């Protein structure tokens, strides 16, 4: 991050130290976080901030940024539908779907947060009548079997 000081004269040394702390998963003071959020230097929510896309690009950290953010919601939804297509009539439990997705979920979230996120995606797909729940298993709806 210190190298960013040389190329960006709008950042203070304290900004760079704060960004470095965010990148390393350390807690920063809420006032500092709010300032960095307003300036577009960090993203996400308390306490799971991450550096912003622009900072990741400027510091050549796009691979780790992308891993931290995970795949976007629509790609995850498509992966779930494909997984359930492959599972066929047997369907799949949330834990199996999570195992399939865990490497592409946001790395800055705990396992519990990732599981809840997968659960919310399943509920959304169910509310959209793309999948059904039978007991503890999820399956594609009859009219959605040819994803």
Q: What integer pLDDT is reported at residue 65 of this predicted model?
A: 85
In Å, how far are 91, 109, 114, 123 from 45, measured between CA atoms?
34, 11, 15, 23
The answer to whether the beta carbons of residues 114 and 54 sit under 8 Å apart is no
In this prediction the pTM is 0.72
Domain 73-144 architecture: Orthogonal Bundle (1.10)
Per-run averaged pLDDT (10 residues), the chain, 147 residues: 58 88 87 93 83 88 84 93 95 96 89 95 96 96 68
| Domain range annotation of the chain | 2-69, 73-144
Q: What integer pLDDT is reported at residue 3 of this predicted model?
A: 54
Q: What integer pLDDT is reported at residue 4 of this predicted model?
A: 55
Q: What integer pLDDT is reported at residue 144 of this predicted model?
A: 67
Q: What integer pLDDT is reported at residue 97 of this predicted model?
A: 97
Beta bridge partner(s), residue 51: 42
């Amino acid at each position: 991050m210190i190298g960013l000081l040389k190329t960006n004269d709008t950042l203070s040394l304290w900004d760079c130290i704060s960004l470095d702390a965010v990148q390393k998963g350390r807690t920063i003071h809420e006032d500092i976080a709010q300032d960095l959020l307003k300036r577009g230097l960090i993203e996400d929510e308390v306490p799971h901030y991450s550096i912003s896309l622009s900072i990741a690009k400027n510091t050549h950290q796009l691979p780790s940024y992308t891993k931290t953010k995970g795949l976007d919601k629509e790609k995850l939804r498509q992966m779930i539908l494909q997984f359930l297509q492959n599972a066929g009539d047997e369907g799949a439990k949330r834990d199996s779907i999570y195992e399939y997705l865990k490497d592409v979920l946001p790395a800055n979230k705990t396992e519990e947060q990732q599981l809840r996120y997968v659960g919310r995606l399943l509920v959304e797909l169910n509310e959209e009548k793309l999948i059904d729940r039978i007991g503890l298993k999820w399956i594609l709806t009859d009219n959605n079997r040819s994803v």
